[in-house]
Structure 1
Amino acid sequence: MSWQPDLDPKLGDPKSCDAIETLIVPRARDLGGFEVRRALPSAKRQMVGPFIFFDQMGPAEFLVGGGIDVRPHPHIGLATVTYLFEGEVLHRDSLGTELSIKPGELNLMSAGKGIVHSERTSEAAKALGPKLFGIQSWVALPESHEESAPAFIHYSADELPMLNDHGVSLRVVAGEVMGVKAPTETAWPTLYADAVMAAGSSIPLDATYEERGIYTVKGEIEIAGDVFGPGQLLVFKPGDTITVKAKDDARFIILGGEPMDSKRYIWWNFVSSSKERIEQAKADWKEKRFDIVPGDEEEFIPLPD
């Protein structure tokens, strides 16, 4: 998805506990028909592990004939991580990929030295009055992979392992949680999981990765006696084992990984360890030197002023 900077989110929840290093309350933004809440980057923190961009999309329900319509736009130096709770999105890219992602599946698109993609609601989905609810995130690529060849990998729901135990249903999307490891190929140690919990259940989050956080999606959770509602990013201090308890039926995303290998710059849809490389990408898009998206050649998002 294409990104435009906005005002920094403001912290609005005083609750915290000793294990929490940063609490981020995303700012809601209306993109015309659906709402987006951006947790990263924020004024308080740019990254959690390799995650440098983290958006909650929806929940939204469109009228018949409606849907999302994100025109072709470029990326460098990052991988997009698309995961849905509800609805579907038609992905097309300059590699020739054309595929709809559905709930529980993962689209992992590595931009490397440069890729162009679009994200739209398919005509078939529009005819049904589509819904959309999910997470769009970006992970920065390590310096060794910033100029790699672009790539796209789709993982079906059946390929991502599930852990079901004592009221907890957890899908491991990337990395390892509670001894369950995903097959997802990442360029940097990455943690990503979708936890659905029944009221009264609990789950331990071990300090397997140095940087860890959870983004609350639904319901209330309790950590060390403090209660947190939906739509918050909680970033934990390194080294602590965390126990998350569900006060009622709840859902949250676990994210993180190892700290990135160097500082990253972000401008529009470009991420790089080099300001000069971002300037080159800006010029390349303006001069139409990126590849086109087959089947979606007529439209594009222009470079911001």
Structure 2
Amino acid sequence: MSNISLIIEERAANIGNFMVGRLLPFRQKRAVGPFVFIDHMGPVKMSERENMEVLPHPHIGLSTLTFLFDGAIMHRDSIGSEVEIQPGAVNWMTAGSGVVHSERTPERLQDSTKSLHGLQIWVALPKELEETSPSFTHIDANQIPEWQEDSISFKLIAGEALDKKSPVPVHSHLYFIEIKSQNATKVSIGDKLYGESALYILNGSVFSEGNEYGPKQILVAKDAKLCEFDIAENSTVYIFGGESFPEERYIDWNFVSSSKERLAKAKEDWINQKFPKVVGETDFVPYPTFKKS
């Protein structure tokens, strides 16, 4: 019997002046473990007249994880952080009770041709930490655990799994793993995973139960402990998941919470500009006329 319970196709979504591929949430699967939102950015080429300009916008009740394959993003937030993220590094921002941040093309790249490609992820916070104070951590690429097994390269980008632990300061039991193949081979790591689990194919293909799956697909497993598949040569996949929370999580625009009342308050506070400000920024993204979830 197949261990795949659901196949999710990447869908186009607009995040202002930038198009992305939306992976989560999905109408049949709102979360995988604590992961509640995943956008695939790019790959996109931009001219010297085009830049990423995501104006200051708010979050509550979640941590954001930004992981780039190509390009660079300048992150600024209301905590006072100002960090350029580059490929292989991790920006981990915990919104908690409320944070505001902007994401832009770094000034050094704004007048040149450039590219951008990566993942932006939201991880819900445990209920007891939903109102924690905001924080920000940048982890350089050389700090991420990386190892080789035969013709497969592994990275544990966040969380704990495969007898490794990432330095990213996560708030719940989760994992986000990169797997890259040089040659076609079998991957069998199921006895070292836990909770809910899903696999995202960035490029190449994987084979399971006689079926082939390609890029821009998420495969959601029925049982994380049965995670075994064949991977084609020169493929890159990401396995993510972990323990689910006992309470449902609701999403309203950029807000995540176990309480719909808290979402309503966040909306009201943003409309009335009661969130903290990003130093040096005056523009902001207004609350949308039509809610997105």
Interval of TM-score (by shorter of Structure 1 and Structure 2): over 0.9
> What corresponds to 1:93 in structure 2?
77
* Runs of 4+ in structure 1 over 6 Å off: none
**CA distance in 2: counterparts of 1:85 and 1:239, whole angstroms:** 26
Corresponding position: 1:289 with 2:258: no
1:271 aligns with 2:256: yes
Answer whether contact 1:216 1:253 (CA < 8 A) is retained: yes
Shift of 1:25: 0.6
Q: Distance in 1 between matches of 2:36 and 2:14?
A: 21
Q: Report if aligned partners of 1:80, 1:108 keep a CA contact under 8 Å in 2.
A: yes
How many residues are matched?
288
TM-superposed deviation, 1:239 = 4.7
For the residues of structure 1 that align with 2:79 and 2:51, how far apart are their CA atoms?
24
What is the percentage of aligned positions where both structures have the same residue?
A: 39
Letter of the aligned partner of 1:57 in structure 2? Answer: M
Q: Counterpart of 2:57 in 1: which secondary structure?
A: strand
Stretches of structure 2 that go unaligned for 5 or more consecutive residues are none
Deviation at 1:183, TM superposition (A): 2.0
| Residue of structure 1 in register with 2:63 after alignment | 79
Report which stretch shifted further, 45-54 or 217-226. 217-226
Separation (CA, whole Å) in 2 of partners of 1:220 and 1:114: 39
Q: 1:215 and 2:189 equivalent?
A: no
8 A Cα contact 1:143 1:261, kept in partner: no
C-alpha separation in 2, matches of 1:43 and 1:221: 24
Question: What residue is the counterpart of 2:90 in the other structure?
Answer: 106
The C-alpha deviation readout for 1:225-250, integer Å capped at 9, x for no partner, is 22100000111012532223222311
- For the residues of structure 1 that align with 2:118 and 2:17, how far apart are their CA atoms? 15
The CA RMSD over aligned residues, in Å, is 1.5
TM-score, structure 1 normalization = 0.90
CA contact (8 A) 2:160 2:173 kept: no
What's the CA shift for 1:31? Answer: 5.4
CA contact (8 A) 2:194 2:225 kept: no
**1:67 and 2:43 aligned:** no
Asked whether the equivalents of residues 168 and 202 of structure 1 are also in contact (C-alpha less than 8 Å), the reply is: no
> How far apart are the structure 2 equivalents of 1:82 and 1:227?
29
Cα offsets for 1:14-70 (capped at 9, x unmatched): xxx710111111212355775411111111100001000011000011012322110
Tell me the distance in 2 between the aligned counterparts of 1:75 and 1:276.
15
**Does the C-alpha gap of structure 1 residues 29 and 285 become closer, same or farther in structure 2, counting only changes over 3 Å?**
closer
> How far apart, in 1, do the equivalents of 2:224 and 2:18 lie?
38
Query: 2:205, 2:186 → 1: CA distance?
Result: 12
Is structure 2 residue 8 aligned with structure 1 residue 24?
A: yes
Answer whether contact 1:86 1:133 (CA < 8 A) is retained.
Answer: yes
- In the alignment, the residues of structure 1 paired with residue 206 and residue 139 of structure 2 have an alpha-carbon distance, to the nearest angstrom, of 29
Among 189, 203, 207, the alignment partner of 1:205 is: 189
Worse overlay, 114-123 or 32-41? 32-41
What corresponds to 1:251 in structure 2? 236
Q: 1:228 aligns with which of 208, 213, 229?
A: 213
Q: Which residue of the partner structure matches residue 161 of structure 2?
A: 177
Quick check: 1:57 aligned with 2:76?
no
In structure 1, list runs of 5 or more residues that go unmatched.
1-16
Residue in 2 that maps onto 1:166 = 150
The CA deviation string for residues 138-173 of structure 1, in whole angstroms up to 9 with x for no partner, is 011011100000000111111111011222111101
Cα-to-partner distance string for 1:95-126 (whole Å, 9 max, x where unaligned): 01000101111011000000000000012122
1:130: which partner in 2? 114
Amino acid of the structure 2 residue aligned with 1:180: K
* Structure 1 residues 244 and 106: alpha-carbon distance in aligned structure 2, compared to 1, 3 A threshold: same
Residue identity matched to 2:253: W
| Amino acid of the structure 2 residue aligned with 1:161 | P
Decide whether aligned partners of structure 1 residues 49 and 40 sit closer, same or farther in structure 2, where only a CA change above 3 A counts. same
> Is 1:188 matched up with 2:172?
yes
Asked if the contact 2:17/2:53 (under 8 Å) is kept, the reply is no
Asked if structure 2 preserves the Cα contact closer than 8 Å seen for 1:112 and 1:145, the reply is yes
In the other structure, the counterpart of 1:262 is 247
Contact 1:162 1:169 in 2 (8 A): yes
User: Aligned equivalents of 2:61 and 2:189: distance in 1?
Assistant: 29
User: C-alpha distance in 2, partners of 1:201/1:125?
Assistant: 39
Partner-residue secondary structure (3-state), 2:225: coil
1:73-100 per-position Cα deviation (integer Å, ceiling 9, x unaligned):
0000011110011111100000010001
- Tell me the TM-score normalised to structure 2 length: 0.94
Q: 2:225 aligns with which of 215, 219, 240?
A: 240
Give, in whole Å, the separation in 2 of the partners of 1:55 and 1:150: 22
